[in-house]
Structure 1
Amino acid sequence: MRASDSLQPTGSGPDGLDPRLRDALFAAALNDIPSAIVAANTDRRIILVNRAFSAMFGYAVQEAIGRKSIILYESEAKFEAIGQERYQLAASANREPYVVNYRRKNGDVFPGETIGVPLHDADGKLLGFVAIIRDITDRFRAEAALKESEERNRLILEAAAEGIYGLDAQGNAIFVNPAGARMLGYAVEELLGCNAHETVHHSFPDGAPYASADCPAMQAMNSGEPVSVTDEVFWRKDGRPFWVEYATTPIVKANEIVGAVTTFQDVTERKKLHLALERLHSVTSSRRLNFGEKIRAILRLGVEHFDLAFGIVAHVENDVYTVRHCISPDGGLRPGQQFALGETYCVHTLEAGGPLGFHHAGASAIAAHPCYRAFGLEAYIGAPLLVDGVRYGTLNFSRPKPLGHPFDNSDLELVRLFAEWVGNEIARQRDIEELAAAQEELKRLAGTDELTDVANRRQVELLAGHEVERARRQRADMAVFVLDADHFKRVNDDHGHEAGDQVLRVIAQLAKAQLRSVDVFGRLGGEEFVGVLPDTPADVAAEVADRIREAIAEEIIPVASDGLSITVSIGVAGLLSTDETFREVLNRADRALYAAKGAGRNRVIHHDHMNE
């Protein structure tokens, strides 16, 4: 199709479309184009523009129509030069873009990347020209800034703390600043001319080969799009990797990528902090580790992260420092050992009321401290331990050799987080012990269902009330499930009430076998049971409930000649921040149970997944 076909005047045409519909479609398509469209006749008067033209040049459509296109050019000389070139364009098939300086209505001059298209009628007669214009001011500014900054870059390379290197189009280093060379362990001259990827980026952190085609920096050079990477390593001359954060920006000249600039910084310490926090979360959220194992895991994590030898959780009461949990390299430090608080560095930590650390006690005023004289501990970092908002003691790490660097703010913040988590674990353990004691006391007071040997309704509601209060106080997770035997009436009708009783006992035994000692499980009445799972999100509780359902469905209960199978339906709900009583979360679990019954039984339904 000739360009003129898309600009034919309004009227009946060979396409059979209503002229108004055709004009509307044409206008809509034209105005959807983001580039400016300008059509001019052979007298160079403007006959058609789109909305993008108005936005780019500042002229309203009716303001531009009929005027000579000289109003769009930077100068009359440029207007005349383009006028000569357009006839050469009409005679050739060349449609390559060219750059012209245009002028907006407000007088501003800007560069426009332009494609010129001649318009012919059906007989090949030249009717005019269409120009498709894209404002490339930003690109020109970037190129100008690059040229202006070349000298400045040469000067700042010497002073920059970040590593910086430049690459040619083949990925070879053409400049490296001193900071980058130091980080990589090379002299500047050793890196010039070397392929950067093969020299410093050749392998993944585990040592596996890193193909150049997969390298984000090389991909940036191929695509022309800058990249930023936050989780990779560079390799030093001595073969040691270090974590880096780097950005690669392609260098473009005359629409051609001629190289790239990469800036990088060593983020090893930040990465270590991130990994430590991930490990801390993994430890504290684990359902496999008991209280003592969690505390020891946190102590090991601190010892490894801070590169120290001793890790201690100490209880302080009446100025007596008692070791509760500890890690020591020779096993010489044991839980239960006591010291006068004033003879430990922790006295300063408690006086400060926050994290405290020093890396070389012997070279500071701390050298006069009794702890230094008695134990020679050079490096120390610690933080106060609070349990339910009340001072418990300290979490601290130390070693007899000085560290090669001071502790920074991230170290102090991390030990504070460690102490906060240890305090939470101690508080949680206290709650668990109190809950266990309460369970025993309630059992002694006949809080057990006689038939199933699980908690009765009164005991469940009492324990669950305590759990709701604790979860609200600590902003912890808690979930509840309600379980009901499917078609239980048939069991009683077909096999008698003794068989029904045996079914309930088996259900209770199988359910309890899937639960932890800290979980509360009891019988609400009839064939309905309830479970309360502290420190458990509702999604996890749903998985536990499904294991219970499967265990019951697979069990053959010996109450008939061939045994009896039964299924259960379970509804699950999690404690909400707005819940004030156990009854609120129980009601949601109950609604989920009825949804499970209505959906065909023998299933678990999570209240949050219901469409209420």
Structure 2
Amino acid sequence: MSYRSVVLIASLLVAAIFAAVGALSLKQLDDQLDLQFEQEAVRLESVYRAALGELEQQAISLAFGLASDAELRRLTAQGTQARQAGDLQVAEAAHTQLLRKMQSQWIELYRHNDLRQLQVLTTPDLRSLLRMHAPDDQGDSLMELRPLLRAVQADRIPRSGFEIGRAYAGVRGAVPVTHPDAEGNPLHVGTLEVGIGMSDLIDRLSHRLDIGIAVLLRAEAVTDAMWESYRPNSAPSKRNQCCYLLTATGPQAAEWLEAGELKPTAGKQATPLLEWKGRTYHLIRFGFHDYLGSLDSNRPPIGSVVIWKDVTHLLLAHENERWELIRTALSGLAFVLALVLILSKLSRREWRRQLETQTEALQKLSRHNKLLLETAGDGIYGVDRNGHATFINRSALQMLGYRADEVVGHDQHQLFHHSHRDGSPYPNALCPVQQTLADGKRRVCEDWFIRDTGEHFPVSMTVAPINEHDHREGAVVVFRDITDYRRRQDELIRLATTDPLTGAGNRRHFLSALESELARLRRNGHPASLLMADLDHFKNVNDRYGHAAGDAVLKHFVAIARNTLRQTDLIGRLGGEEFAMLLPGDDIKGATETAERLRGALENSAAEFGTLRISVTVSIGITELQHTDENTDAPLQRADEALYAAKTGGRNRVSTPLPRLDDKAAATPGQR
């Protein structure tokens, strides 16, 4: 074979090798970009769903706070009873009073909590008694339209979720409204529902993650449920528009709908790239379920969430890298063909250079992904199909207290998820991560993790499966510590039941406890007593030392009372210097002994205010709860009369009610 033929064959062989290597490198580069887009889509969807879960919990908390108001419960009971009796005039009066009462709270919650809906419905047909967001629309039944409300009406269990109603579409929280019946037992009289807009939620995510977000609703779902005057403004007026635009963080979503770029979808779809006005956007779109869809994954989504990110610069850099790779390959081929005599050496050097370039690109992508993982505020870790951790980020390690080498390669359930909060074993089969590995379903829930110290802490977690080529390879878990969130809930309850100055129970809380104790007395006959206490000459303390000193005296009295009373006893501040104490299980004799101890303890202990020591005394009236007490007014009046007797008898003393005239008349002659 001639030298020319050898050179030609060698050149063709080299050219074929370079072409194959170049094509493989370009494909690998494109695959890396596709993988980056896919991982970003999973991350953003997980973050969105976790934030939506927090919003649903917030809706239930707000509904609980509003439904605990005694006046609201009374008016709801009045409206329900009037409607059941067919008395529309009384029902309208209840609506008017309820509207007047809730007006200021509605305005405040609308401003600071993005509350967009507040309504009260009567039982048993879920007929609207009050819509704060549409006060003129009332009297219609939501029984057929609103599954979430039907569920709360049926079992009285609070619920939250997204639903489209007649006047509002958004995240809702619904709780039962109860009011005591004649025997003091809680009676279900209605349902209270709040709705929180999604605009603030997506705005926060948009600013934090530098993305755009839009929520779309299927046209038929909106038109079937919502009154026309309340539907979103962006109606699908053209044939190429797929749905209503509920809310968005930028104008792009409305423009894409108008142009027909967003097609109807029944669920999750591929994450495409969209060219628009000289920019390229990465679109992530997934199904958006309402309350029923959250219970049944087979139901079609009620709409979809669209997340987009401008990737113009990323794609430009990628394209430049492709052309750089092509130019490099061509230069190498030309160089090799020109210097065929040193083909082997130069080919090996060029291959090494290309390999280093690709390795650097892979390392760069790996560093980028690691940076995203390590800077995330939420804890993130992955597991393989056997439940063993494959990676974990810094936030997760800080929350759990472990080192990475103590987690990676170990069974995550056995390491920090092995027992319930009470110490009982947590079966592996009930672990949400193991369940997702078994059935491939995504889960959002609240649970408890265990730190390396053995301390349990509450978490909100999202578990998503990792599938490759229709095979489940593992799962990724995103979680956050919700200790502060639960502490804020407990603090809200404390603020709603406590006098802010003294720390004693407030008037509403005390009267509610007294009402419950009367109900228990009627059921089981156990004794209970009521003490009414008033500080003697308290006005003189304020006049002589000032109101700040008076406050110190009130707090001192509550501290003395708490040291004297049992843990089961309750002290409440009814107003000013007047306090009441409820003593379950004590008859009049035991209550008198307790009152005398309290009176003596206060008499012998001065309140300290700066350098001053202020001595005060207390007068106490006592009464025992009776089976004939129809409500709290009767025992309060008897205790108040006894207190008056203690005051008029010289103060600093304990007194019981004087016998009434009718009581004496009913006594036998030997008893008078």
Structure 1 length as normaliser, TM-score? 0.29
Of structures 1 and 2, the one with the larger relative CO (CA 8 A, separation 6+) is 2
**Rg larger in structure:** 1
Pick the structure with more helix per residue. Answer: 2
